Amino acid sequence: MNRLDRYVAHNVMVATLIVAVIIVGLDAIFTLVDELDQLKGEYQFLDALQFMGTRLPRRLYEYMPMACLIGCLAGLGGMAASSELTVMRASGVSVGRIAVAVIKPMMLLMALNMALAEYAIPVLERIAQSQKAVAQGKGDLLSNKGKGYWHREGNTFMRFTAVEPNGVLHGITLFDFDNDSNLQRIRSAERAIYQRSSWQMQAVIDMTITDSATSQQQLDSLDWQTELTPQSLSVVMIQPRDMSISNLFNYTRYLEKQGLNADNYLLSFWRKVTQPLGTLALVILGISFIFGPLRAVTPGYRIFSGILVGLVYKYAEELLAPASIVFGFEPLWASVIPIAACMGVGLLLLRRAG
């Protein structure tokens, strides 16, 4: 039976990896084409190519649930087309046993995917974004062009043109407000370096605003005291979906301490935590399709069905995420509802097939 399990696992794993390579490869081409429209300053073709390559692990992580679903349909579908599954069933192998043989390699992929999201993607994303921002912003770091990065701490709003992972900020602007939301002070600097538990701003313009007058002074350097560190600041330069689970949890607590809305980060936190369950639900649904509705269809139709189900699942997640914010229900449910639906349908079809 172990040999049979290995055979089933091998077929499904190979099919899943092939699907993953194809999907991520196509996405990489589209990403590179999009980056070619953003060439600017010192950010040229080779930099765009490096940017695309650095972000490949992120795209692999995002597409892995769909790759597992389609790989399951393709791997088991090929065995069904050659009557191998029929022989297994005739030999007394239950549907549940085959399902377990399929789920084992999928669990390995889920674990690797979680490790990728926790340790590799946040670091690579910070490197990619900082290198791109610095290369594009050479000679234009103090302008208001480009999106930059925004952060709030108390009554201070902060904007950074570029953030380097080694503790260097470029194009810093700090807006200080009083409790009545009146602008009191604006500080801008070419860059800031983290030294001895504080930031040293360089080439500073310090403007003080009062009801009667506005004063301005230029300073070579200025000490900036803030709770932000290079480690905590790293969350500013990447999207919540690219942060690690531990950073999402810690940053959510930080935002709640500051009295800020943390729903977007909670949504990303629960989506990452529940992604293995979502992948498992899609795999079970794929297995149930092979022994049920898609038992006698063509391989192309199975692949099409897998893509369709994967897209429906993804769009359901994308729609429920903002709905949780608008209607005020817990962000956890935005992830749990599609998973529960897929798992319920898959288990029901498996039960009928068994």
pLDDT band at residue 92 under the 50/70/90 scheme: confident
pLDDT tens track for 46-90: 999 999 999 999 999 999 999 999 999 899 988 988 889 888 888
End-to-end CA distance of the chain: 19
Number of CB atoms found within 10 A of residue 170's CB: 21
Residue 322 vs residue 158, higher pLDDT: 158
Rounded to 5 degrees, φ, ψ at 74 are -70, -45
Residue 296 vs residue 226, higher pLDDT: 226
Q: What angle do CA 76, 78, 79 make, to 5 degrees?
A: 65
State the number of CA atoms in the 13 A half-sphere of 174 facing the CB: 25
Q: In the numeric block, which tokens belong to residue 55?
A: 């972000």
Task: Determine the pLDDT at residue 144.
Answer: 44
pLDDT band at residue 240 under the 50/70/90 scheme: confident
Residue 315 vs residue 134, higher pLDDT: 315
Across 190-199, average pLDDT: 87
pLDDT tens track for 9-52: 999 999 999 999 999 999 999 999 998 888 877 788 999 999 99
Residue 349 vs residue 60, higher pLDDT: 60
Residue 338 has pLDDT above 50, yes or no: yes
User: CA-based Rg of the chain, rounded to a whole angstrom?
Assistant: 25
Across 248-276, average pLDDT: 86
Residue 143 has pLDDT above 50, yes or no: no
pTM of the model: 0.80
Instruction: Mention every residue, 6+ apart, whose C-beta is less than 8 A from residue 343.
Output: 277, 280, 281, 284, 285
Nearest to 98 by CA among 215, 207, 203, 6: 6
Across 177-201, average pLDDT: 90
Residue 308 has pLDDT above 90, yes or no: no
Least confident range from 63-72, 139-148, 248-257, 263-272: namely: 139-148
Q: What percent of the chain stands above pLDDT 70?
A: 93
Q: In the numeric block, which tokens belong to residue 242?
A: 């690219």
Across 273-282, average pLDDT: 94
Residue 344 has pLDDT above 60, yes or no: yes
Task: Determine the pLDDT at residue 108.
Answer: 93
